[in-house]
Amino acid sequence: LARTLPGPTPGRWHGCPTRVAGPTPGCISKRRPCMGMRRTVSTEDAPAAVGAYSQATATDDLLFTAGQIPLTPEGDLLDGSGIDVQTEQALENLVAVLEAGGASTDDVLTVTVYMTDIGEFETMNTVYQTVFEGDPPARSAVGVAELPKGVDIAVEAVASTT
């Protein structure tokens, strides 16, 4: 039987009372089914977060990556490089975070690419296709005024972990 909870529990995004024990089968909040515990994903194979955020967060079923920029795991910023080099590094970082979260590019459901020059779309797409071959995920490409650290691209993804 599904049950309705009276309100949110501090520390949980939807009021699931299974904060420590994990999801309860049939647990239903007022708005959403229980997605299980949220966990933080981190890897040394991608650059550390440059702010107050995680490289990724995950539930039992989904992995949400932060935007990956062309920063090497060693901290070298590739902001002066061409969009092809920047895209390749951002995607290498994305793959490392996906793997740390128990997913691969085959598990990616959607990708969002942020670019400061959408006119470079074709160059970005050429590199992108080398990572997401065959049956690629849904994708949006968005032109933006600027990105953190002065880079020209950031890439984030949502992947299934089941």
pLDDT tens for 22-68 read 444 444 444 455 556 899 999 999 999 878 999 999 999 999 999 99
What does pTM read for this prediction?
0.79
The amino acid at 102: G
More confident residue, 49 or 120: 120
Q: Which of 37, 39, 105, 93 is nearest to 66 (CA)?
A: 93
Reported confidence tier of residue 9, pLDDT bands at 50, 70, 90: very low
pLDDT tens digits for range 65-118: 999 999 999 999 999 999 999 999 999 999 999 999 999 999 999 999 999 999
pLDDT score recorded for residue 36:
67
pLDDT at 34: 55
Q: What is the pLDDT of residue 50?
A: 79
Question: Could you give the CA distance from residue 56 to residue 40 in angstroms, rounded to a whole number?
Answer: 6
Cα separations (Å) of 114 from 111, 125, 142, 154, 156? Answer: 10, 12, 5, 5, 9
Nearest-CA neighbor of 70 among 10, 110, 6, 124?
Answer: 124
Do the bridges between strand 138-143 and strand 108-115 make them parallel or antiparallel, or are there none, so unpaired? Answer: parallel
For the chain, the distance separating the N- and C-terminal CA atoms, rounded to the nearest angstrom, is 24
Residue 20 scores a pLDDT above 80: no
pLDDT score recorded for residue 124: 98
Distance (Å, whole) CA 63 – CA 55: 10
